[in-house]
Structure 1
């Protein structure tokens, strides 16, 4: 070998050795200094009022090419629940990383206050150095003083482009309202999807109105899909595709009736697609695969903690969700939970649970129909024609069910009954699964200190200058005892005997007004149950207890007592109940939420109340004060809109 080549080789080897040494020092210095590679940007794209009716979820009627394309290079979650089946409580859950039931925010337009030291996920991300923006939608269900979630920008001009420098990581949310319930009935609209090809759920009647609403819903999803595509293209054009983790999800089930507002799977299951660029695969879940499907159970309570985990920060201890990605990813869940409280003017209490295949539901007001008259819902043509056909006797059993009263508990097998119309709770082969999910729901309600066990009026009465969450964590709220009492009251609806009556009377004899409330509810359900086996003396004793409850110091207990006494076939008893309901419905004597509760009972038994107190009811209607609030004045709606009378 020529000498000059030998010298060149030795020189090259020396350079390589020096470069390797320098590189080693650089790596060591970086490790010693704690320097990390740049953190990912995080983009959330959310759409309103839509479940997984998308092409990537196997829906052949859908036309959603942009989301389908995103899913083809991302991970799609098979089972994601919104926890609440309506926007405001669902957003309470997302923004807080806590179940809305733990904050008293499970009701529509709850306006609940938060503890002073509680942080919402944008505040945590902002402290972690992220530039946080929210495009337009808030609706967090909080009191006005707590509506500031900590965004750098929130509104129509909010955008990740406004960050102070290109080196600043961003967390940015864009909300698309084009698929909202109100857009289904928005006219004029020229249909693109063929109504004749729409796949109707078993519970909806097959009419032109219903087919048109479903077709228009799918049209809106196509429009929404284009907006999602535009947002992704903005990221691509800015050269940020390799540094941005993208989430797409819907905010609860479709805006069609019996999806939205109801914690069936149809009201809670949403699409969730997550894209993680190659540079951040160490933050992706272990089952991440482009175009893959995850069987991991996730829900909205997990979203905030997951975003915080992706930012490299540990979620606050108060957050109940489990991160499913990032540095602090937790263990997979065995169950997801859902909840329904007051929906606009109609009071209800339902809890649901899924393991991915089965859905368990517990009804705490089984004596009230599924689809009570919610004014906003009745603006949708499907709702109106569905109710008209029920009243005309033109529906089959599956379609009629949802205008009738409910069983205490239901179990649905999604594998064999995706529309959730066949309650298999009574079948012996499902007894073990029923017991398992029942206990899981009870344990969850206890452990999360479910404030829905108190009436909304009682929550506000106890809270006063405190947050409901503070009350829920105090000794004044006995979650375990309330779960047991509420469960016992519900069981009385299934069958009632002398032992049941004695147990409910014992609950009424306690000093806790929340327990007394469930004692009265249990007596009401027991006396109204089709499975009641009582002697005349036992019935008289139960009515006597309820007459005492009609004078209880707590207004919610008095509402519960009047709820059954107004049905007793004795004029003097009915009149006492009607007079008390009228008094409770008057504002501002007992308060707004007491009035809503009383008017819900009055509306269920309007003829009986009118028979004894028509003049007084007219007086309340004529003198009702103007009480405007977000979502409308629910007391006024109850006073002026005929609803679900069972007389």
Structure 2
């Protein structure tokens, strides 16, 4: 009897809490930037999106934080900068920090019915009670706001996958848009394959636009349009090479459109008017706080974005930020920052080319023809740049160079601008305690089954200022000579030692030879990531047979999943693959390494080691995979 009374009271409280709250509808899409008519794209055909913008507000400067789906969605579901939780890679399976919730849990606590149709794809482990989903009321292809209780406010997501990268390469396809008129970026070669891919990309946006229109019609016919706030956005930039996966403005900018019916205009962004344009800086870490603010729920203090509008709105920041980590099987570390006009890029692994071989990316015709023409020496600048190592720093003026092809990082006329953005970026990364500067193998080995955020919460565990200083000096040869790195090689923190070794690798043979004996000692370091970095550094230059043998044996040991954690093996096999020509005498041992992930590895992560082994065995041969 008492239990029944408690449940009844809870139901009454929930109903009261839910009273007079707006419905909220998110119509999202995948792998597409703001290539819409309402954003000035004359090649696009998007009548429904344009109509929504005409009666709502269009955000001119919205970034997805990550240029690929899973990390971007992780920022959305958590309201946090994914690298702050160690969840920045594509993909991961990281425990939520203690005491944290995903945003639908906040909405459900005040009476909302929360449905998600159809994709999740988070890098954070979703809370469950046994098999019971604690995040969504329903998350499936059948999820719909119609399934809520009568009179219950809803928050509903409908995600369209027709614009996904995988749909650009789907054949046969009868083009709607004329490929001869496709607006090609200057860094892509002008070939029939590239034009077809771009035309098909725009075709898919038109198809998505039609489906979005049907959702709006359904809402109208149900008599709910005047009670529902609508938002539309893509999850990152276009699913084309050097757009998707790259934290330039072209890879991060998305169209964001909001419509507030008359009843709920008091919750709208400042200056809201039909057909209006908002020029504030916004990003995905803001959308979660905004959602809660609109629903009358105060965002928790651990959220790292700000509410754009609603009851708990806050002013716009001076900068917004983006990131790139491991992309499937290949490692990289990039951070980007914009003030709305200039974009500052910091490459922390500049010795690696932009266009590392990535099985999934190479399934697209544009990627293959672009790389083939580079290999044949047929490309002019800036089309060659994607296949070469990166500068440590990049700076672009979006006003004069929207395609981000003219690097101003060394321009004396732009020195103050670069410094301002670089300092803004460093302040942000330090403030949120970006864990991306801890190698993944090292980070997961220490965290085990706990949240990396919780494990590395103290300065003792993660002295972020020191780690970032080491990373800066190591990865920008203009900042420090090799001898300045030597002091970091004996540091007590493994991440500092890792970056010091990387500094020698990046500087090349002359630098490595100044401290080769010390680097050789580090083949016995307690951290597997440091051992791997030391081995690659020594292998990169001609060494005695004994040193080359020991370095290779170190990598073979770290690459063995029978004795090493999965992502330690991923780090090591990446190095073996990069240097397989030099390591040809050990080819048999390399090929004999286990190439199948252990059963304990999450299903969507298993294929990464297999792709690396395929490349070791077969080179740039493409094996078709599913959606990514």
TM over 0.5: yes
Given that residues 520 and 560 in structure 1 are in contact (C-alpha distance below 8 angstroms), is that contact kept between their aligned partners in structure 2? yes
Identify unmatched segments of 5+ residues in structure 1: 1-33, 529-533
> Aligned partners of 1:221 and 1:591: how far apart in 2?
41
For residue 133 of structure 1, give the secondary structure of its aligned residue in structure 2. Answer: strand
Question: TM-score, normalized by length of structure 2?
Answer: 0.92
1:372-521 equivalent positions in 2, closer than 5 A: 372-474=356-458, 475-492=460-477, 494=478, 500-521=481-502
Q: Which residue of 1 aligns with 2:518?
A: 545
- 1:566 paired residue number: 539
Retained in 2: the 8 A contact 1:566–1:575? Answer: no
**Separation of aligned partners in 1, 2:193 and 2:571:** 33
Partner of 2:147: 162
Q: Counterpart of 1:80 in 2: which secondary structure?
A: strand
Contact 1:84-1:338 within 8 A present in 2 as well: yes
- Counterpart of 1:38 in structure 2 is 20
Alignment partners' CA distance in 1, 2:38 and 2:137 = 34
Q: Structure 1 residues 299-308 or 562-571, which shifts more? A: 562-571
Query: How far, CA to CA, are the matches of 2:330 and 2:595 in structure 1?
Result: 21
Answer yes or no: is 1:188 the counterpart of 2:172: yes
Cα shift at 1:355: 0.7
Residue 574 (structure 1) shift: 2.5
What corresponds to 2:182 in structure 1?
198
Q: Does the CA-based 8 Å contact 1:297-1:332 persist in structure 2?
A: yes
1:140 aligns with 2:113: no
CA distance in 1, matches of 2:419, 2:83: 23
Query: Aligned pair 1:97/2:79, yes or no?
Result: yes
Instruction: Provide the C-alpha distance between the structure 1 equivalents of 2:334 and 2:163, rounded to a whole number of angstroms.
Output: 26
- Name the residue aligned to 2:625: none
Q: How far is the alpha carbon of 1:90 from its aligned partner?
A: 0.4
Describe how 1:196-235 pairs up with structure 2 within 5 A: 196-235=180-219
Give the match's secondary structure for 1:109: coil
**Matched residues, number:** 597
1:315 corresponds to 2:305: no
1:4-24, Cα deviation, whole Å (9 max, x unpaired): xxxxxxxxxxxxxxxxxxxxx
Task: Give the match for residue 52 of structure 1.
Answer: 34
Deviation at 1:539, TM superposition (A): 5.0
Q: 1:177 to 1:431 in 2, by over 3 A?
A: same
Distance in 2 (alpha carbons) for counterparts of 1:625 and 1:583: 16
Indicate the RMSD between aligned Cα atoms, in angstroms: 1.8
Structure 1 window deviating more from structure 2 (463-472 vs 176-185): it is: 463-472
The answer to whether the aligner puts 1:106 opposite 2:93 as a matched pair is no
Q: In structure 1, what is the Cα distance between the partners aligned to 2:311 and 2:597?
A: 55
Which of 590, 604, 612 is residue 564 of structure 2 equivalent to? 590
Cα deviation 1:278-305 (Å, max 9, x = unaligned):
1111111112111011101100001111
Secondary structure, aligned partner of 2:21: coil
Stretches of structure 2 lacking an aligned partner (at least 5 in a row) = 1-15, 621-628
Q: CA-to-partner distance for each residue in 1:108-166, whole Å, 9 max, x for gaps?
A: 1111111241111100011121111111111112236669461111111111111101x
Match of 1:150 in 2: 135
CA distance in 1, matches of 2:280, 2:562: 49
**Alignment counterpart, residue 370 of structure 1, candidates 354, 360, 377:** 354
Residue 353 of structure 1, CA deviation: 0.4
User: Residue by residue, what CA displacement relative to the aligned partner does 1:522-542 show, whole Å, maximum 9, x if unpaired?
Assistant: 1211235xxxxx5xxx75332
C-alpha separation in 2, matches of 1:35 and 1:110: 36
Q: Tell me by how many angstroms 1:584 deviates.
A: 1.2
Instruction: Please list every run of at least 4 consecutive aligned residues from structure 1 whose deviation after the TM superposition is greater than 3 angstroms.
Output: 34-37, 143-149, 538-541, 621-628
Aligned counterparts of 1:622 and 1:237: Cα–Cα separation in 2: 54
> Conserved in 2, the CA contact under 8 Å of 1:445 and 1:483?
no
Match of 1:615? 588
Equivalent residue for 1:330, pick from 314, 318, 342: 314
Structure 1 position 335, deviation (Å): 0.6
Deviation at 1:495, TM superposition (A): 6.8
**Which of 538, 552, 565 is the aligned partner of 1:578?**
552
The structural deviation recorded for 1:364 is 0.7
Give the direction of change, closer, same or farther, for the CA distance of 1:138–1:69 in structure 2 (3 Å limit): same
* In structure 2, distance between residues paired with 1:635 and 1:503: 36
Relative to 1, partners in 2 of residues 1:452 and 1:149: Cα closer, same or farther, differing over 3 Å? farther
Matched, 1:78 2:60: yes
